[in-house]
Amino acid sequence: MASQTSTPLEYSTHQNEMTILGFWIFLGAEIVLFATLFAGYFVLENGVADGPTLKDILMMKDVLIETFLLLTSSFTMGLALHQMRQNNLKGMLIFTVITLLLGAGFMYMEINEFIHYVHEGVTMQTSAFGSALFTLLGTHGVHVTLGIGWVILLIIQLVRRGITPVTSRKFFIVSLYWHFLDVIWIFIFTFVYLKGALM
Amino acid sequence: MKKQSMFPLNHVLGFVLSIALTVGAVFIVYQTDFSASVKMNIIGTLAIFQALIQLIMFMHITEGKSGGINIINIAYAIFLAIVVVAGSIWVLTTGHAAM
């Protein structure tokens, strides 16, 4: 039984430790990637070219639902990792599947939101604001979609191989990725949506 | 055996705090009478706290032998992010004012 005091399984080999460090460095680069997209959005958000502004098209209720879906999925991903460290494969898989469903719910809401924006007359071609908004939100959405695919592949591996040093390292890394997407969403929620509602 | 599993206190605490900070930010935007810039400063600060909660309580940034390197790496990435965002806004808005 893995106890909480010993080194977690995912850190058990030097190779694993280096892989996890490498993923943290990748996340550092991701922070910079999203920083450039945020910078683009902040510079262009007033360039609406006589089209609708974010305040005109914003559906705060839907955005809040998206926020809580993603926030909760980040939490259940944490619980899945906690189950992994208890060496409980079944509990781990249950929480991972819940995470996936919440992530899929988030994507469903976000695609609906995009369709709503297009119906309201804001596309990537409408204005500088539209381009910057869809690029920022779309890049985050693509990350979530890739994350969902990644987690599905890992579930297959976990079912086949169980919790090993390799699968636990892979799962730890995907959990880092998932939490990171939630961190980005916090900033999108605050500096795009809430700011848009204030303008 | 499995029943002995420790309660994931950090995760539950982090989740409750995240929800509270999100609801708090929405409350400040829609239910208070502060000026827009004061509201932005408050909710911006709340967002940073929430990101830190994710990093520390969910992502265990300080864990493992490379914990120190992790923090330096992420701190540097955040520094770059601030330079890119603040720098772009600064350069482009002052450019407009001068035109």
C-beta neighbour count of A144 within 10 angstroms? 21
User: Do both B13 and B56 map to the same domain?
Assistant: yes
- Predicted complex ipTM: 0.86
**How would you classify residue B5: left for phi > 0, otherwise alpha for psi between -120 and 50, otherwise beta?**
beta
Size of interface A-B (CB pairs under 8 A): 139
- What does pLDDT average to over chain A? 92
Assess if CATH 1.10.357.10 describes domain A10-198.
Answer: no
**Structural domain count, chain B:** 2
Residues B97 and B56 grouped into a single domain:
no
Amino acid at B53: I
Residue A10: per-residue pLDDT: 82
Query: Containing domain of residue B90, as a range?
Result: 65-99
Same-domain check for residues B8 and B56: yes
Q: Which helix (H) or strand (E) holds B40?
A: helix B36-53
Q: Output the pLDDT for position B1.
A: 33
State whether B13 and B30 are in the same domain: yes
Per-residue pLDDT of B50-77, as tens digits, reads: 999 888 888 887 777 777 888 899 999 9
Residue of chain B whose Cα is closest to the Cα of A75: B15
Most confident of A1-10, A103-112, B89-98: A103-112
Summarised one tens digit per residue, pLDDT across range A151-191 is 999 999 999 999 999 999 999 999 999 999 999 999 999 99
Give B64's contacts in chain A (Cβ within 8 Å).
11, 17, 20-21
Burial class of A61 by CB neighbour count within 10 A (0 to 12, 13 to 18, 19+): exposed
One domain for residues B56 and B70: no
For A79-93, the pLDDT digits (tens) are 999 999 899 999 999
Report pLDDT for B97: 57
Residues B55 and B8 grouped into a single domain? yes
Question: CB A21 to CB B30 under 8 A?
Answer: no
Residue contact B88–A20, C-beta within 8 A: no
Determine the straight-line distance between the first and last CA of chain B, rounded to whole angstroms. 72
The C-alpha of A115 sits at a distance from chain B's nearest C-alpha, in angstroms, of: 24
Question: Which positions in chain B touch A165 (Cβ < 8 Å)?
Answer: none
B46 & B69 share domain: no
Domain coordinates in residue numbering, chain A:
10-198
Query: Taking 50 as the threshold, does the pLDDT of residue B4 lie above it?
Result: no
Give A199's pLDDT tier (boundaries 50, 70, 90): confident
